[in-house]
Amino acid sequence: MNTDTAGRVLALVSAAAILAGCQADAPDERAGRGPGGGATRVVTAVLKAEHLVDEIEALGTARANESIEIKPRLASIVTRIAFGEGDAVRRGDLLVELENSEIRANLAVAEAALSESRSSYERSLSLRPTQAISEASLEQLRAAMQVDEATVEAAKARLANTYIRAPFDGRVGLRRVSPGGYVDTSTVITTLDDTDPIKLDFSIPEAFLAVVSEGMEIIAHSLVYPDRDFRGIVDSIDTRLDPVSRSVMVRAVISNAEAVLKPGMFMTVDLQQDRGEVVLAPEEAVVPEADRQYLFLVENGVARKREVVLGRRMPGSVVVLEGAGPGAIVVSEGTQKLRDGMPVEVVNEITLQDGGTGSPSRL
């Protein structure tokens, strides 16, 4: 055998040996073993049971307990303004008087007509026993008297409308008319607001419906008074949810005896929902597959794939409702290399007593 032939044979033998070695190592690599055929290196964490309290900051707007714009019910000239801007008024207090001389004259005419018709009816009524007047004539006189009575009442009502009075206790706003000015039914004379108590309307997510109930106490805050708590009571909850935002409107009532809160002010309400003890897992430990969620639990040095039911997600963690309990050791890093039943090498120190704290070594 010459030198070239011997070299070819040696090369073929070497290639066959390398191929055999690769085939021998393939099962270990398919099994996910680390370098040198060892277990897969992973970082783990311990599932912990923690007391979870959901907190939200609801945004709301302060509204007057009662609020209206004062407008006249008829067109006339302003003859007197009986309030000052910002005055506190009581129900029935006179605010504005309108010119009413013509209405008074019409009332006098109506009252005179009523007096005459009533007198005629009463004289005719005294003739009934003698049958000097027919029942039909008597009925006509009574009808005429009733018409005159209605006319008088209408004139009195029209006269009363020239005196604009406060419909409830409150505080008037800025005056928008002057004496001698012409007003009609669309003219805003001023505003009237009852701000004690004041209403606070705020919306809450659907998930907090079980937390809020009528009669519960709330604490609100305002940017105007950052260091002050405004305590109130939930007065009512809307019967419908917004189908877009999935939220519901809540109305609370807050005492405002000092008049520091104004209608339209922006306020916040802090709400809490106690969910009790829950099991928390690191968010990075969750392995999603289609519509299912899995965790890799480490048991006796082997990774076991476990389907779980998850609840609320929070930054960095997720609530485990079913499938794993507190104290279970789960793989938090290295899940992409794992298959069910693989041996694993934990590279971080786990302390069950302190909830799995330690300084994990990055893979």
Please enumerate in sequence order all residues whose Cβ is within 8 A of that of 320, keeping only pairs 6 or more positions apart, or say none.
47, 278, 279, 280, 281, 295, 308, 309, 310, 311
Quote the CA–CA distance of 288 and 262 in Å, as a whole number. Answer: 51
Distance from C-alpha of 196 to C-alpha of 191, rounded to nearest angstrom: 16
pLDDT mean over 170-183: 94
- Return the pLDDT at 354: 42
DSSP class per residue in 8-60: HHHHHHHHHHHHHHHHHHHHHHHTT--GGG-PEEEEEEE-EEEEEEEEEEEEE
Which segments within 159-244 are labelled E, that is strand? 163-165, 170-172, 182-183, 190-205, 217-222, 230-242
Instruction: Say what the pLDDT of residue 273 is.
Output: 65
Residue 273 C-alpha from the chain's centroid: 14
Residue 21 pLDDT > 50:
no
Flag the least confident range among 112-116, 128-132, 148-152, 206-210.
128-132
Angstrom distance (rounded) from CA 188 to CA 175 = 9
- Structural domains in the chain, CATH included, are 26-47+286-354 (2.40.420.20), 57-64+193-274 (2.40.30.170), 74-183 (1.10.287.470)
Residue 267 has pLDDT above 80, yes or no: yes
pLDDT at 22: 44
Check whether 55 has a pLDDT greater than 80: no
Which DSSP letter does residue 343 get? B
Q: How confident is the model at residue 130 (pLDDT cuts 50, 70, 90)?
A: confident
Query: What pLDDT is stored for residue 8 in this prediction?
Result: 54
Rounded to 10°, the helix 101-126/135-160 angle is 160
Report the range out of 191-195, 331-335, 345-349 with the highest average pLDDT.
Answer: 191-195
- With a cut of 80, say whether residue 16 has pLDDT above it: no
Quick check: 69 pLDDT over 70?
yes
Ramachandran angles phi, psi of 279, nearest 5°: -100, 125
Q: Is 172 exposed, middle or buried (0-12, 13-18, 19+ CB in 10 A)?
A: buried
What pLDDT is stored for residue 52 in this prediction?
77
Q: Is the dihedral of CA 195, 97, 94, 184 positive or negative?
A: negative
Residues forming a β-bridge with 234: 252
Residues 278-295, mean pLDDT to the nearest whole number: 89
**Contact predicate 103/82, CB 8 Å:** no
Selection from 254, 273, 253 nearest residue 205 by Cα? 273
Q: What is the pairing mode between strands 344-346 and 40-46?
A: parallel
Split at pLDDT 50, 70, 90, the class of 146 is: very high
For residues 15-31, average pLDDT: 42
C-alpha angle 259/265/268, rounded to 5°? 110
Query: Percent of the chain beyond pLDDT 90?
Result: 48
Q: How far is CA 314 from each of CA 44, 60, 157, 329, 333, rounded to the nearest angstrom?
A: 19, 25, 65, 20, 19
Query: What confidence score (pLDDT) does residue 10 get?
Result: 47
Top-ranked range on mean pLDDT: pick from 10-14, 33-37, 242-246:
242-246
Which two tokens mark 341? Answer: 């039943």
Burial class of 232 by CB neighbour count within 10 A (0 to 12, 13 to 18, 19+): buried
Per the model's pLDDT, the better-predicted residue between 225 and 9 turns out to be 225
Which residues does 224 contact at the CB level (< 8 Å), separation at least 6? 260, 265
Q: Is the pLDDT of residue 32 over 80?
A: no
Neighbours of 145 (CB within 10 A): 20
Q: Which two tokens stand for residue 315?
A: 């930054």
Interval 147-153 mean pLDDT? 95
* 336-360 mean pLDDT: 65
> What is the structure's pLDDT at 109?
95
DSSP string, 131-171: T-S-HHHHHHHHHHHHHHHHHHHHHHHHHHTTEEE-SSSEE
**What would the pLDDT profile of 298-327 be if each residue is shown by its tens digit?**
988 899 999 999 887 878 888 898 888 888
What is the pLDDT of the chain when averaged over all its residues? 83
